[in-house]
Amino acid sequence: MTGRLAIVGLGPGAAELITPLASETLAAATDLVGYAPYLARVPERAGQLRHPSDNREELGRARQALELAAAGKSVAVVSSGDPGVFAMASAVFEAIETGKPAWKDIEVAVVPGVSAMLAAAARIGAPLGHDFCVISLSDNLKPWDLVLKRLEAAASGDFIIVLYNPASKARPWQLGDALRLIARHRTPSTPVVFASAVSRPDERIDITTLAGADPANADMRTLIIIGSSATRLVAVGKGRRFVYTPRRAELVET
């Protein structure tokens, strides 16, 4: 008897940003698998089993979920934000490709969610209103030289740049290096946004500039948006400020 597996995006945090499809999928599952703090966001249901895990064990967690589904369970793997953006969906498909042949017969669905970058952008205006790149600064699973190559390409292409996983205790220096690289292509007044825990009670959003950006203000949970040459920081009424990138763009020297 083969069960099914859904990889479900919980959105950035607030219950009002979880899609009805995600809520229904979670409610219908017999087993929930995921990083413990994400599982804690899902309402408890009688009879439903929870399998919390550590954040670092993505592939192991994916295999555990597939074992449960292969045994006939209806499994939901939970991710924060969208499961396809630096989250659990890739790990599940990798586990399917490289794992037990029977896993290829499991019915698998991905339930998209509002990603952290979309939620962060919405809180401060429309910084992603034009062409953009999304890069994880973590070099746990890729060489740092590849990160540098992609940062150089994104900066020289005058893209808006979104950075995931900008820093951790084990690699506090990477964000500073990344910002210095980008600063060779952008003016010091380029808008920069640090966002964490968007839509949650401990939400923190700082609007600054490339010259003013302090890497010490970022940790693993921070998402950083760096404007293109066209991105604007606008002061409006009541001390509010917006960051947006106009729809019109010109070719500029980068």
| Site for a copy of itself, residues 36 to 65, rule: CB under 8 A | 58
* Residue (120 or 213) nearer to a copy of itself, CB: 120
72-101 mask for a copy of itself (x: CB under 8 A)? ----------xxxxx--xxxxxx-xx----
Q: What span, in angstroms and rounded, lies between the C-alpha atoms of 56 and 158?
A: 33
Residues 24 and 52: their CA atoms lie apart, in Å, by 20
> Could you write out the DSSP letters of every residue in the chain?
---EEEEEE-BSS-GGGS-HHHHHHHHH-SEEEEEHHHHTTSPP-TT-EEEEE-TT-HHHHHHHHHHHHHTT-EEEEEESB-TTSSSHHHHHHHHHHHS-GGGGGSEEEEE----HHHHHHHHHEETTSS-EEEEE---SSS-HHHHHHHHHHHHHTT-EEEEES--BTTBTTHHHHHHHHHHTTS-TT-EEEEEESTTSTT-EEEEEETTT--GGG--TT-EEEE--TT-EEEE-GGG-EEEE--S-------
Stretch that binds a copy of itself, among 16-24, 31-39, 40-48, 209-217 (CB under 8 A): 16-24
Neighbours of 111 (CB within 10 A): 24
Q: How many of the chain's residues bind a copy of itself (CB under 8 A)?
A: 79
Task: Choose the binding region for a copy of itself from 47-55, 69-77, 122-130, 171-179 (rule: CB under 8 A).
Answer: 122-130
Residue 182 touches a copy of itself, criterion: CB under 8 A: no
Locate 101 and state its tokens.
Answer: 């042949």
Q: Name which of 85 and 210 has its Cβ closer to a copy of itself.
A: 85
The only residue of 112, 191, 215, 227 in contact with a copy of itself, by rule CB under 8 A: 112
Mask: binding to a copy of itself, 214-243, rule CB under 8 A, as x and -? ------------------x-x-xxx---x-
Q: Cβ distance 98 to 28 under 8 Å?
A: no
Q: Which is nearer to a copy of itself, 50 or 94 (CB)?
A: 94
- What is d(CA 193, CA 40) in angstroms, rounded to the nearest whole number? 28
CB of 211 to a copy of itself, least distance (A): 22
- Closest CB 224 distance from a copy of itself, rounded Å: 14
**Residue 40 vs 146, nearer CB to a copy of itself:** 146
Least Å from the CB of residue 202 to a copy of itself = 19
Nearer to a copy of itself, 65 or 96 (CB): 96
49/189 with CB nearer a copy of itself: 189
Q: Which stretch binds a copy of itself (CB under 8 A): 49-57, 188-196, 203-211, 246-254?
A: 246-254
**Is 175 one of the binding residues for a copy of itself (CB under 8 A)?**
no
Establish if 142 lies at the interface with a copy of itself (CB under 8 A).
yes
| 157 sits near a copy of itself (criterion: CB under 8 A) | yes
